[in-house]
Amino acid sequence: MRQHLARIVTVVLAVGLTTVAVTDASSSGGGDNARTQLNIIAPAAPGGGWDTFGREAQQALMSNGIVNAVRVRNVPGAAGTIGLTQFVQLAGRTDSLLVTGGVMVGGVILQDSDATLEDTTPIARLADDYNVLVVPANSPYQTLDEFMAAWRERPGMAIAGGSLGSIDHLLTGMLADAAGIDPSLTNYIAYAGGGEVVRAMISGSAVGAISSANDFAAQIEVGELRALGISSATPLEEIPTQTFIEQGVDVSMSNWRGLVAPPDIPDEVRDELIAILTEMRDTEEWRDTLDRNDWTDSFMAGEQFERFLDAEVASTEEIIKELGQ
């Protein structure tokens, strides 16, 4: 339903879309062939997870000659929904991809965004990473059991994390529910990024925090923070932290990352973009990327990815409802 409409040859860019800085296809020669030039839009500021993902993909695609030229542009704000809103106006564009992930699913719902992922053409999910629950090194809570017991006694104790609707926020609600706490009673403090969450923890502004394992890795290694559990469904060899499930808390959630295309592209273009990302996934450079960032390969493409997105939206809506948002 997302990709079967007729191709729109002339695209009228809305006011403000120049911030996306998509190269004009008539001058680049890339409008009809994504292997000539590809524009990857990262709907976040430089240095964040989506930006890193887009630039790692850029490197793997170009170094292996899969695409001749790849440009990454940043359109930050509102859990990715500003970039998404601009991106869906590129209907029919055959040389552009948008980085997306679980954070955007929640952001769309909480921001009441006019644009949704249903307005895009799903291409592929490529990688997952996972969140950890941490406490400061001087915290009295040495184990997950101790933390959960204290949380039950004081449901309003401050939990820090990323933006509202993020994986951090959703996971907070799921853990509260597993602890027998009404998720709407949680005191979740949202920060703009992982660096701010780390500072909140070290300064004592929050009792615990939930964010990407990568955000906390350096502080855990030097002993400033203590990890109590990780959100993967199974143990991860590269991250020596017990899962919540291993510790008797039946909660798991991945922070997945993937790429979507604009609406209304021809089927053959969608298939070519899937082929491009499938080739990238099989390169040594991409395997190195997964290892270096502690990402888990979770490749799925096309209709399988579309079904996954539908399920993600439904489950996220339910969690947000429980959180009272």
pLDDT at 32: 54
Where does a domain end: 247, 270, 291? Answer: 247
Instruction: Say how many domains are in the chain.
Output: 2
Name the pLDDT band for 215 (thresholds 50, 70, 90): confident
pLDDT at 139: 96
Q: Is the per-residue pLDDT at 5 higher than 90?
A: no
Cα dihedral 59, 50, 120, 290 sign: positive
Where does a domain end: 191, 217, 247? Answer: 247
Mean pLDDT to the nearest integer, 93-120: 94
Identify whether residues 307 and 241 lie together within a single domain. Answer: no
- Pairing type for strands 96-101 and 254-261 reads antiparallel
Give the contacts of 211 (CB within 8 A, at least 6 positions apart).
131, 132, 134, 160, 161, 162, 168, 194, 197, 198
pLDDT at 79: 86
Q: Are 13 and 85 in contact (CB under 8 A)?
A: no
Q: Is residue 283 part of a domain?
A: yes
Q: Is the per-residue pLDDT at 238 higher than 80?
A: yes
Q: Is the per-residue pLDDT at 240 higher than 60?
A: yes
Identify whether residues 138 and 205 lie together within a single domain. Answer: yes
Cα–Cα distance for residue pair 24/119, rounded to 1 Å = 22
Q: Which of 123, 88, 122, 117 is nearest to 104 (CA)?
A: 117
% the chain with pLDDT above 70: 90
Give the contacts of 282 (CB within 8 A, at least 6 positions apart).
none
Where does a domain end: 186, 221, 247? Answer: 247
Cα–Cα distance for residue pair 81/104, rounded to 1 Å = 7
Burial of 225-238, coded b for 16+ CB within 10 Å and e otherwise, reads bbbbbbbbeeebee
Q: Is residue 1 part of a domain?
A: no
Q: Are 102 and 256 in contact (CB under 8 A)?
A: yes
- Pairing type for strands 208-212 and 158-161 reads parallel
Query: What's the domain range around 243?
Result: 129-247
Q: Are 91 and 224 in contact (CB under 8 A)?
A: no
Q: Using the 8-state DSSP alphabet, how is residue 246 labeled?
A: G
Q: Is the per-residue pLDDT at 9 higher than 90?
A: no
Q: Is the per-residue pLDDT at 66 higher than 60?
A: yes
Mean pLDDT to the nearest integer, 26-31: 37
Identify whether residues 121 and 137 lie together within a single domain. Answer: no
Q: Are 30 and 61 in contact (CB under 8 A)?
A: no
pLDDT at 119: 97
Name the pLDDT band for 42 (thresholds 50, 70, 90): very high
pLDDT at 45: 85
Q: Is residue 243 part of a domain?
A: yes
Identify whether residues 237 and 268 lie together within a single domain. Answer: no
* Beta-bridge mates of residue 133: 210, 229
CATH code where residue 97 lies: 3.40.190.150
Lowest mean pLDDT among 60-69, 254-263, 315-324: 315-324
Identify whether residues 197 and 275 lie together within a single domain. Answer: no
Q: Is the per-residue pLDDT at 236 higher than 50?
A: yes
Q: What is the mean pLDDT of the chain?
A: 88
Identify whether residues 134 and 240 lie together within a single domain. Answer: yes
Q: What is the pTM of this model?
A: 0.82
Give the contacts of 252 (CB within 8 A, at least 6 positions apart).
231, 232, 233, 243, 244, 245
Q: What are 151-202's pLDDT values in tens digits?
A: 999 999 999 998 888 899 999 999 999 999 999 999 999 987 777 888 888 8
Q: What are 70-99's pLDDT values in tens digits?
A: 999 999 988 899 999 999 999 999 999 999
